[in-house]
Structure 1
């Protein structure tokens, strides 16, 4: 078979054709790579955006929960502070009432006949608590004449209640403080055992016993209170 020689023009033509083919394939390959890269970029961008969106949503959910918790804590604190203020106001009111009662106790001694009856009862009651044959009675110095007058009456009351005799001895060397509103103290066994029946002591005992009742009278029943002691 005879070989046909190519002219320079044919060679150049084939070379150009091959170069055009290579360029076309290169362009197609480049376009394919670009399209693939664009697709992967969009996928990655979408993934990152979604990831950041989730993080942002979680962040603001945490913030919202923190704010809600802070609101609850603040509301609870304010409520507790309000309750404490109410309780303090109530206790201050009770304290004022007890102070007024103490002032009125001092006025009780201005009525000799009424105060005499009170002293009789305080001495008799204290003696019945001690149940001894000899009891020492201590009073204010200003009350000494009244005490000496009621001693026989209290001794008789004691005997009629207990069926026993008692000797009430007034301590004329030691007296209650002049600041005491009134009343007496009773001693046995050289002062080892004492019954404090001053007006202040009786008021303190009665106020303690009646405190739940006073609170209910003044402020109404407490729905949370199960016991009244």
Structure 2
């Protein structure tokens, strides 16, 4: 994507810098012409016209040199500012693109509920991962209300699989007091010890984690 914006940035810098240089040259010419006229008028009314004209030429030369130095400094500063602005535009465009991708991914996560078999497999994996992180004997699951019946169909087998995997027993219950918002993409929040410890494995939180902690990795893979 950076290659797509580079020609535009280069062209923009060249045109704006050229316009600024032309404006400075016209300004210098006008001011120098005014000084020459002033010197000429003074020379007409002064018997030492030759001396005045000589000093006038020195003043004009010094004036031109000062203006050229000023022009060079202002041109470099203007080009630097335009380059910085162009880079910020490109960075913002990249960030907007990443945000669009994240929004698209979230829409796809919302669509998982239309694929019952796939969503069930994902939900089992998220719960098992949470159990293995907590390693507690009793846990509660916080789910969307629409997922409660689905999860209850595989709780018994999940407890057995957890025991086979870790050698530990666990009792899993659905939290009767808390639910995930129905408009969320799903997933699970697992808590234990009277809700003092928990693992948030909801799909929304996992996506947010991806776009914050893993943002540099996502950005690098998209644009390099």
Task: Settle same-fold status: TM greater than 0.5.
Answer: yes
Aligned match for 2:101, one of 89, 92, 97: 97
Residue 182 (structure 2) pairs with residue 178 (structure 1) = yes
The answer (yes or no) to whether the contact 1:119–1:150 under 8 Å persists in 2 is: no
Q: How does 1:18-167 map to 2 (within 5 A)?
A: 48-167=52-171
CA RMSD of aligned residues (A): 2.1
Partner secondary structure for residue 109 of structure 1: helix
Aligned counterparts of 1:161 and 1:54: Cα–Cα separation in 2: 92
Note closer, same or farther for the CA distance 1:102–1:51 as it changes in structure 2 (3 Å cut).
same
Aligned counterparts of 1:168 and 1:103: Cα–Cα separation in 2: 30
Note closer, same or farther for the CA distance 1:118–1:53 as it changes in structure 2 (3 Å cut).
same
Larger-gyration structure (1/2): 1
Of structures 1 and 2, the one with the larger relative CO (CA 8 A, separation 6+) is 2
- 4+ aligned runs moved over 6 Å, structure 1: none
Aligned counterparts of 2:59 and 2:157: Cα–Cα separation in 1: 91
Aligned counterparts of 2:164 and 2:207: Cα–Cα separation in 1: 27
| Range moving further from structure 2, 124-133 or 49-58 | 49-58
Post-superposition offset of 1:209? 5.0
Partner secondary structure for residue 85 of structure 1: helix
Residue 193 (structure 2) pairs with residue 189 (structure 1) = yes
Aligned counterparts of 1:181 and 1:147: Cα–Cα separation in 2: 15
* Number of residue equivalences: 179
Partner secondary structure for residue 114 of structure 2: coil
| Structure 1 counterpart of 2:16 | none
TM-score of the superposed pair, with normalisation by structure 1? 0.71
The answer (yes or no) to whether the contact 1:136–1:169 under 8 Å persists in 2 is: yes
Which runs of no fewer than 5 residues in structure 2 stay unpaired? 1-45
Aligned counterparts of 1:150 and 1:186: Cα–Cα separation in 2: 16
